[in-house]
């Protein structure tokens, strides 16, 4: 290293202080990471219900404490999330409500347990998506969310009615086309066959 290439001293190198917005985004990301970590632990208890190993009172207590932590962090996260962003918190709350204890899950039929595990997986995917969004926000990217208004009423009936109208329109168009083709064929027949 030559003398012209000196390493800047630590005194001269200034560390940039984080803005309140950056601190808020870091805290939000840390909360999201904590929820994801606890959600993995939640799966361990669901998996325990598939086994025949006995469940201890300590495990039941740990499960209840885990649910309590998840609920508290979920509430905190919901208050801090950007407006319009949905991360699947309602599905998480639904699953935790169905999983009262490990013993209750264990007593469910196998199909119901598989359904709970599938719901756990859906929430896990939503949480990973949320973590990616929070990471983008933490890095300073501008993220906007569009709110989609759900259709009200019977969606299947609305779809069937819209298809029914299209079929009538298509049938009417087909009849007109057939009449035009018949008229053209009649004119050609008249010109070439009848005039001879």
Token pair 């606890």 is at which residue?
38
- The parent domain of residue 163 ranges over 151-196
pTM of the model: 0.62
Helix-then-strand count for the chain, H and E: 6, 0
The predicted structure's pLDDT at residue 2: 47
Name the more confident of 35 and 9: 35
Backbone conformation region of residue 148, classed left if phi is above 0, alpha if psi is from -120 to 50, else beta: beta
pLDDT number for residue 88: 77
Tell whether 47 and 121 lie within a shared domain: yes
Instruction: Quote the CA–CA distance of 89 and 67 in Å, as a whole number.
Output: 13
Confidence of residue 145 (pLDDT cuts 50, 70, 90): low
Average of per-residue pLDDT across 128-132: 90
Distance of CA 70 to the CA centre of its chain: 18
Q: Where is the domain boundary, 138, 165, 182? A: 138
3-class SS of residue 190: helix
Instruction: Tell me which of 6-10, 38-42, 133-137 is least confident.
Output: 6-10
Looking at the domain assignment, is residue 186 inside a domain? yes
Does any domain span residue 146?
A: no
Residue 149 clears pLDDT 80, i.e. is over it: no
Residue 172 lies in a domain: yes
Average pLDDT over residues 162-191: 75
DSSP per-residue letters across 5-57 = SPPPPTTTSPPPPPPHHHHHHHHHHHHHHHHHHHHHHHHHHHHHHHS-SPPPH
Higher pLDDT, 143 or 116: 116
The answer to whether residue 127 is domain-embedded is yes
- pLDDT tops 50 at residue 12: no
Mean predicted lDDT score pLDDT of the chain = 80
Task: Look at residue 123 and tell me if it is in a domain.
Answer: yes
Could you tell me if 47 and 123 lie in one domain?
Answer: yes
168 and 94 in a single domain? The answer is no
């Amino acid at each position: 290293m030559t003398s012209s290439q000196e390493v800047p001293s630590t005194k001269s190198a200034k560390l940039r202080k984080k803005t309140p917005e950056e601190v808020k985004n870091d805290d939000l990301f840390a909360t999201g990471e904590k929820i994801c970590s606890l959600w993995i632990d939640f799966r361990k208890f669901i998996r325990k219900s598939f086994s025949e190993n006995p469940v201890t009172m300590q495990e039941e207590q740990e499960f209840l404490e885990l649910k309590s932590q998840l609920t508290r962090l979920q509430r905190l996260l919901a208050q801090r999330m950007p407006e319009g962003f949905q991360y699947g918190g309602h599905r998480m709350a639904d699953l935790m409500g169905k999983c009262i204890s490990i013993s209750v899950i264990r007593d469910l039929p196998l199909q119901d347990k598989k359904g709970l595990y599938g719901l756990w997986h859906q929430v896990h995917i939503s949480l990973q998506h949320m973590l990616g969004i929070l990471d983008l926000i933490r890095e300073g990217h501008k993220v906007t969310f569009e709110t989609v208004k759900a259709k009200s009423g019977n969606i299947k009936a609305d779809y069937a009615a819209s298809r029914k109208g299209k079929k009538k329109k298509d049938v009417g168009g087909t009849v007109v086309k057939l009449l035009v083709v018949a008229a053209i064929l009649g004119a050609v027949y008249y010109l070439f066959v009848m005039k001879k």
